Chains A and B, each alone.
Chain A
Amino acid sequence: MTLAVEGLRKAFGGVKAVDGVSLSVAAGELLALIGPNGAGKSTCFNMLNGQLRPDGGRVLLEGRDITGMAPRKVWRLGVGRTFQITATFASMTVRENVQMALVSHARGTFDFLGALADRHAPRAMELLARVGMDAQADRACGVLAYGDLKRVELAIALANDPRLLLMDEPTAGMAPAERVALMELTARIAREGRIAVLFTEHDMDVVFAHADRIVVLDRGKLIAEGAPADVRADPQVRAVYLGTGHTHGVGA
């Protein structure tokens, strides 16, 4: 298993945002983490990448305990990530953004006499070509279309040869056609590179078309897990999503 999560818990005040969630992702597998608003997806996600410290439970990356590790250390162990609202360096070009990730990976951040232009430029172009952004390599990240920014983020996330990709709503804010293209690209890259991918997503078309497996959260608890067809048929999942369940008097 690339990623194994055991009994993860987090409470804010009295609210149990994540309550004993366990899951695992294998190399080359795309696992979707879904659930209605407030189900605990983001909290769960932020504990995996180190932004939040869990109250209990363990996060194992290829058998190594990374629970509560700082995000930058988690990244060093081979975890790439993309954000729900894209985060790139606006005052740099597309290529420079990727170069920075490569520089950091090679531990060359504190070199203050060399020129960035000479650092890892060919490798950056390779990565950009993989996500189809090589033609725009010299444009400023600050002026890119949103869908293109998502691709740049993917290239950045791939810069450290990750074993695991964490993608928070990878297709949020994109046009439907772009969504399909980005997810197909992600799936191809993951399978070719044997990279485990864990993503959260609101768009059910994307989830059912691209995920190998799906984990469903509701109010902090895992309520279903399995292949897309099984999850789609699960009565509890249907209840949660269609709102017919009597347990949901109060909207989340």
Chain B
Amino acid sequence: MLENLLVQGLSGLASASSLFLVASGLTVIFGVTRIVNFAHGSLYMLGAYLAWTLVTGLPRGHLGFWGGVLGAALIVGVVGVLIEVLLLRRIYKAPELFQLLATFGVVLIVQDVALLVWGPQDLLGPRAPGLRGATEVFSVRFPLYELFLISVGPVVLVLLWLLFHRTRWGTLVRAATADREMVGALGVNQRMLFTTVFFLGAFLAGLGGALQLPRESVNLQMDLAVIAEAFVVVVIGGLGSLPGAFLAALLLGQMQAFGILIFPKITLVLAFLVMAVVLVVRPHGLLGKAPSTQHAAGPVEPLLRPSPREVRLLGWGLLALAVAVPPFLGDYALIVLTEIAVMMLFAASLHFIMGPGGMASFGHAAYFGLGAYGAALLVKHFAAPMELGLLAAPFAAGLAGVVFGWFCVRLSGVYAAMLTLAFAQIAWSAAFQWTELTGGDNGVLGVWPSGWASDKLTFYYLALALCTGATLLLRRAIFSPFGYALRAGRDSPLRAEAIGMDGFRIRWFAFVLAAVAAGIAGGVFAYAKGSVFPTYMAIPRSVDALLMVLLGGVQTVSGPIVGALAYTWLHEQLMRLFELWRLFLGGVILALVLFFPQGLAGAIGRRGGRE
């Protein structure tokens, strides 16, 4: 028994090391550039793939292996520099979420490039020369390579510490982390600093990936798996804090190692639960500091007006078409149109808290998915009819909104967004691991509409009515006293409080409203597809919602609708026409971020000569 615990503890330490490598790069990049680099997981994956190519291509032996690992990390470092110079440098002034969107575009592109170059199959790397065997640790056999990995974490921490405390460059990095504007005012070459920081961060991610080679197979799912964990580590440790990241990586590694022994059912939930608890107790992470200096007030938000007449007429025209044309369309078109209606509501629900509320959510899919599961579980366990299922959907999502929202709206900015991500991952893990209730990965099948709505056209009209109705109600709410109060809290919390408004309760209620709306979308989606899977709550779906809102433009009223139309259509076409649709989608996202920073609706509005 004791030996067992020891082995678990040691393997927890080994995972902690690789996690720390990735997280340290992420946290350093965030500290200096304030960019939440979603593509960091992709750099990690690239590191692993490149190491596989180099190590298997180079002659066997120490030089081949270690040279390959180091070479892979260096190449990834250069890739990081390219990303910084070609993309991010152009958008440092853009809103935080646009930078996030851009890095997600990179994620999509890297996924398809990796697929193109290395193929879909898992790749197995060779063992590390000289560390192939196992050794006895307190009379327990333990792989040597794991012991080596355990030592890598602290060694890298010490090296980074020396780098940051003993070199001029490191001092500048620390100064920039503490107060970026001040460093700029002192005449430091920020461009050089940012580029080199990106090199270091990418190098560390690449090294983390490359060192995984002897441990596990290299595959295309590595990027999102590791980025979620790295986010957790960085947030628990405190954004920008290296020792914090190290501590959090240790904590998480051990939690996962022992979690398997103690709570095998909820290992996936565990990490995110820890993060949620830490953020509630210490809103800036274990060793993080509240951002002390905020010189520049946020950008002044433009006047929010109802869409101009022409746009509204166009909208009603589109709706008339959406009602009149479908009887003449085939099943495939009806399915696509139903999905567009659902996505429009999903996007509008996220926009409600992001635009007027100023709260970004990285985990909005949780409420979409919980709506879908709310309906599907009633079908599965109680054979409930569709009408009841569609009622249960917003209720389930709203309830989650009440609970999760209570935590999330206490925080702000990146921390709040991370907490929403954590809750979404908790919901996802529950759906994935609680097989008895949810069917796990196999999902819930047979979620079909009632007889009267089983025909594709009828169901399309039902979906259109529900989703358009709810979307229009959300539009209305934006210009209601409540919508204004929400915006008031975003524009000036000081003034809002000074005129008697309870910002917490207002944001909380908005969060619940958005969850309810997303739940309706999820419920309709469940019946449209006839089945519900954990992927409905996974990160990519949350990102879908973010993409739709950002493509449409956050600070416009018609934005989410335009965004949902454009994105769902584009997505569908790309998936149909191209094997490598991610590559194209990623390219389109980058183009949009670089050329239309106000989103599509914002760009159209500007072209029309409006403010």
Residues of A near any B CB (own CB < 8 A): 49, 70-73, 75-76, 81, 83, 87-93, 96, 99-101, 103-105, 108-117, 119, 140, 142, 156, 159-160
Contact = CB atoms under 8 A, between A and B. Distances in A.
Nearest to B356: A91
B513 A112 contact: yes
Interface centre among B481, B484, B492, B502 (most CB of A within 10 A): B481
A116 B500 contact: no
Given A103-B484, A112-B482, A159 B499 contact: yes
Contact of B495 (A73, A87, A99, A119): A87
A92 B487 contact: yes
Given A72-B501, A87-B492, A92-B487, A116 B300 contact: no
B497 interface: yes
Interface stretch (B188-196, B270-278, B472-480, B582-590): B472-480
B485 interface: yes
A159 B501 CA distance: 14
A112 to B, nearest CB: 4
A124 to B, nearest CB: 12
16 contacts: A83-B495, A89-B488, A89-B491, A90-B492, A92-B304, A92-B491, A100-B488, A103-B484, A109-B502, A110-B506, A111-B481, A111-B482, A114-B481, A115-B479, A116-B484, A156-B495
Q: Main SS of the interface on chain B?
A: helix
B118 interface: no
A115 B476 CA distance: 7
Contact of B498 (A72, A93, A99, A111): A72
A92 B484 contact: yes
Interface residues of B, number: 33
B406 to A, nearest CB: 17
Contact of A91 (B301, B473, B496): B301
A112 B301 contact: no
B488 A110 contact: no
B303 interface: yes
Nearest to A76: B500
B501 A110 contact: no
B302 interface: yes
Contacts of A70: 497
B301 A142 contact: yes
Contact of B487 (A76, A89, A93): A89
Contact of A75 (B491, B500, B555): B500
A94 to B, nearest CB: 11
A142 B302 contact: yes
A75 B479 contact: no
Given A110-B482, A140-B302, 5 more contacts: A83-B498, A92-B491, A96-B484, A100-B484, A117-B479
Contacts of B506: 109-110
Interface in B64-118: none
B501 A109 contact: yes
Contacts of B494: 83, 87
Nearest to B555: A91
Contact of B303 (A92, A111, A113, A159): A92
Given A91-B302, A112-B513, A119 B498 contact: no
B569 interface: no
A188 B492 CA distance: 29
A100 B502 CA distance: 13
A83 B495 CA distance: 9
A126 B513 CA distance: 34
Given A87-B494, A93-B303, A111 B500 contact: no
B374 interface: no
B484 A90 contact: no
